[in-house]
Chains A and B, each alone.
Chain A
């Protein structure tokens, strides 16, 4: 990417762009991962709740557990940007 014809400003701008891209990927991909994981858990949770309402609180907790992956992604993104 960096060739001799580039100015310092150009290099800095490019690095900033790469960081933003990395941060975006970190949040985006973990979001997709969490979604996939929650798909199966969510359908099982809805099934279990349909039969027994008492488990709603518990299955809600189980459903959002994969969200932790997104939080990791978010932390990585923030570390990259700031």
Chain B
């Protein structure tokens, strides 16, 4: 009886997790995506204007139109949703949720740095920011007013990722590529997640299970990407440590020449049956984005199963946060694809349904 043992605390968990489950049930179902594949952009805008995105579409309808309206509405909705979840989850769950949401800080800061590097207008950069992390709208606006990438980094003094930004920025500016900086930021993000999960806060072990799954999926996706790009060099720097595969193991896997051999070797290391099935199914797929979508789908399914094993933990919240993220990504892909006149069948391959 979870309810008695922790003197009322568990009721907060039950409350928050139920809310997440209800919200999850209101996400756009597969059938609606399939219907949207046959719609035009204005029809899609109207369709999502009748769902959870109504208030954003109404609010932004006067200032934006077409694809920009959809993009803005999606970003606003995502940020609003994440902030509202952060407000309603209790105690330890809030700690883990905030920790998870720091991913958006990295995305926003890197976007601002890239924009500043390219000399974009602050207003234009602002359109693609998602203020869902610790840096809120005000903080991001302040960063946008800075003139150069160096000044932006300077303004971030005191943030967790400042030391990495400070050391990596000169190299990024010199080479003109933020890829390495971004990799390092994400690696530190995952390292920090592991630290947050293992420093003894209640429920950390369950959070750690998610982190491991996430890191494994990212690493496997990256291995497939590297294979597709025919990168055979040292991949140790590109892999995220902390998952169930060691970095050395991943390096060995990436060295395998034959694709079937690579998948077999990967399968020997994996225990989860759904992932094994997906890897087997991937054998027949050659298009990279299909492989990525399949792996993402299996990760979400795995998280869903785990969240049922631990129904009142951080997992139901993470499942919703992740699924919401992919819903927004799907809608964006749909809108962008329709804008570019791509056929529905082609777009379908990019959607995580």
Partner of A39, one of B11, B16, B17, B19: B11
Contact with A along B1-21 (1 / 0, CB 8 A): 111100010111011111100
**Which chain B residues have a beta carbon within 8 Å of chain A's beta carbons?**
1-4, 8, 10-12, 14-19, 22-23, 26
Count A interface residues, CB 8 Å: 12
Contact check, A51 vs B15: say whether CB atoms are below 8 A apart.
no
Contact check, B19 vs A43: say whether CB atoms are below 8 A apart.
no
Q: How far in angstroms is the closest Cβ of chain B from A53?
A: 11
Compute how far the CA of A70 lies from the CA of B26 in the bound complex, rounded to whole angstroms: 36
Contact check, B4 vs A43: say whether CB atoms are below 8 A apart.
no
Q: Given contacts A36-B1, A36-B4, A39-B3, is CB(A44)–CB(B15) below 8 Å?
A: yes
Partner of A50, one of B4, B10, B14, B19: B19
User: 25 A-B Cβ contacts within 8 A?
Assistant: A36-B1, A36-B3, A36-B4, A39-B8, A40-B10, A40-B14, A42-B11, A43-B11, A43-B14, A43-B18, A44-B14, A44-B15, A44-B18, A46-B15, A47-B14, A47-B15, A47-B16, A47-B19, A48-B18, A48-B19, A48-B22, A50-B19, A51-B22, A52-B22, A52-B26
Contact with B along A42-77 (1 / 0, CB 8 A): 111011101110000000000000000000000000
Contact with B along A7-18 (1 / 0, CB 8 A): 000000000000
- Kindly identify, within residues 21 to 44 of chain A, every residue whose CB is under 8 Å from any CB belonging to chain B: 36, 39-40, 42-44
Residue in chain A with minimal CB distance to B11: A43
Compute how far the CA of A23 lies from the CA of B18 in the bound complex, rounded to whole angstroms: 37
Kindly list chain B residues whose C-beta atoms are within 8 Å of the C-beta of A48.
18-19, 22
